[in-house]
Structure 1
């Protein structure tokens, strides 16, 4: 076999391996959103996905490797659905409002079968030290930091009127409303918590000095 032919075979195998990894991880993120990271195992995922245990073990090596890869995959989907579309809007209040709207829709539309992926994994690993907890902490730290950065940008541009304590409180409160909406919707099987959370977000932003016209997407 020529070098070019060998490289073609290797590229084909790599592409198939990447496709298998993506498919397995999509099943894994859905499973984790329902059962948590502790419920994720190679055997459980094999039964769910239709891939053999040996194939999954070859891709991820062990349970911790699978958990870490699943957190990374969940974060990538969250970024694609919530964060990246918001980046089409101006920094500050327009982007902050878009983030909150996207966030509510992401849970309401069940992008993950069990609602918010990170609500499920945070509950599992908030008090368990180790690499998986650090991966979850990093993802959540970056997300909350991004919300605070947009809040601060809105203040710096005159779109909101808050001091540093107010910025911290608003940046805490907006995601907290979402997290309660996600939890209550799952528990009650109702869409109503998202309506209430959107109303709460809108009221907080109005009190912080936002123009009513900037908050139209949070009216329902």
Structure 2
């Protein structure tokens, strides 16, 4: 086998591990990732699986990165062409609702589940989750401030409060979809967003 083919096979195997791990972690938490379980489901040896990551913590961190890549593709990545300002903020929020509504991951919002699992701990995984959440709040802050500067939101808009409220809507949506299995939850989330961002 050529070195190039060998490297491609290694990347493909690593991606298979990440895809399975992300699905499990979204539904059962990052602690649900055991090397034995993953190896058995993928038909690999434990040593072979660990060879791609080294430690369970390194695997967990890689899953956090993979979850961020999926979210980036499914939410901001879907609305890149939306005009700047309030229309972009609305488009981002609609893509966010759609992401949860379409059940892209079997357990709903990975970051909601993982944050609840790790928010009271210390260490690299908790720090990675906090960092990803901070980056997303930064992006929302940029969109809100642009909408204010364009005169599309009131000049006295409390940006941090609006971010808090938007996150609250999405946390509630994830809860009602995952725990309550409420089919009306996306509609309720959209109504809440209209109240926060102004009706169309």
TM interval, short-chain normalised:
over 0.9
Question: Is residue 82 from structure 1 mapped to residue 99 from structure 2 by the alignment?
Answer: no
* CA-CA distance at 1:108 after TM superposition: 1.2
**TM-score when scaled to structure 2?**
0.95
Question: Is residue 36 from structure 1 mapped to residue 15 from structure 2 by the alignment?
Answer: no
Name structure 2 gaps, 5 residues minimum.
none
- Other-structure match for 1:217: none
- Other-structure match for 1:98: 91
CA distance in 1, matches of 2:19, 2:44: 12
- Other-structure match for 2:177: 185
Question: Is residue 171 from structure 1 mapped to residue 163 from structure 2 by the alignment?
Answer: yes
- Other-structure match for 1:62: 55
Aligned length: 200
Counterpart mapping for 1:7-46 below 5 A: 9-46=2-39
SS of residue matched to 2:152: coil
- Stretches (4+) displaced over 6 A: none
Question: Is residue 203 from structure 1 mapped to residue 198 from structure 2 by the alignment?
Answer: no
CA distance in 2, matches of 1:162, 1:45: 52
Kept in 2: contact 1:24–1:51 (CA 8 A): no
**TM-score when scaled to structure 1?**
0.86
* CA-CA distance at 1:196 after TM superposition: 0.6
CA RMSD of aligned residues (A): 1.4
SS of residue matched to 2:104: coil
Name structure 1 gaps, 5 residues minimum.
1-7, 207-211, 214-220
CA distance in 1, matches of 2:60, 2:108: 18
- Other-structure match for 2:102: 109
- Other-structure match for 1:150: 143
CA distance in 1, matches of 2:183, 2:49: 36
CA distance in 1, matches of 2:115, 2:197: 27
CA separation of 1:52 and 1:189: change in aligned 2, threshold 3 A: farther
